[in-house]
Structure 1
């Protein structure tokens, strides 16, 4: 079992023992999502920590989107629950990049792409590919794309 998956399991056990319903239910759903990812496809496999992290990030994103939808629908209590679940999941994710750090990473990717002969607005795809490799899940794709567009002046 990977270390992150084992940590999720241990934290679930602790949450159940302390009767922390929010944390326990959030971790149960996340562990289920990890398990579904492991058995998806033609052959069951053990996920790496990086893959488990991606599943957790996807689950956190679902919580943010659900909170926004509940806010728009006037269901503040449900939105607050989704936000609280998102905060629990954030504990298992790497610290997100600040705007300054993201700008630095994108600037490096733009320079690297230019060195490879990719320049201007048409190089967006190449720059995004380089930037996303450097960001490695510490910033959402939309934030990265907005920063790349800002750098390219489009």
Structure 2
């Protein structure tokens, strides 16, 4: 079992003992999402797979917060923010902008990329290095800016 899944199980037990209902509910949601993928795909998720599930959950929460705030449903937006905060505690430390720039520069140099035609090649290698630690949309913009120079 992956270390992240073990941590989630231990935190679930601790939340039950502490009677922290909101925290327990979010941890159960995370465990249910992980279990659903494992059953559907008949695999055992490792830490990378768990981080992928968590990133998807984070994206869903951010979308929901935007929609709830647009509809002036602040109580629902607050609930989503609480869930987002709990989920974020299980994600790896995000990369700083300087670290992302360094990874981009390294991959561009390594692949010899010099135009937008090389975008896919660069993006593929960078995604493997920064998955779960950076927003790929932002990374894509930085790569485009770098390759268009």
Unaligned runs of 5+ in 1: none
Residue of structure 2 equivalent to 1:37: 37
Residue of structure 2 equivalent to 1:54: 52
Please give the TM-score of this superposition, normalised by the length of structure 2.
Answer: 0.92
Please give the TM-score of this superposition, normalised by the length of structure 1.
Answer: 0.89
Aligned pairs for 1:12-27 within 5 A: 12-27=12-27
Runs (4+) of structure 1 exceeding 4 A deviation are: none
1:147 equivalent to 2:145? Answer: no
Cα distance in structure 2, aligned partners of 1:45 and 1:105: 31
Backbone CA RMSD of aligned residues: 1.4
Q: 1:123 deviation in Å?
A: 0.7
Cα distance in structure 1, aligned partners of 2:147 and 2:2: 40
Q: 1:14 deviation in Å?
A: 1.1
Once the two structures are superposed, residues 109-133 of structure 1 have per-residue CA deviations (whole angstroms, 9 ceiling, x without a partner) of 211221xxx4301111111011112
Count of aligned positions: 149
SS of the residue corresponding to residue 30 of structure 1 reads helix
Q: 1:70 deviation in Å?
A: 1.0
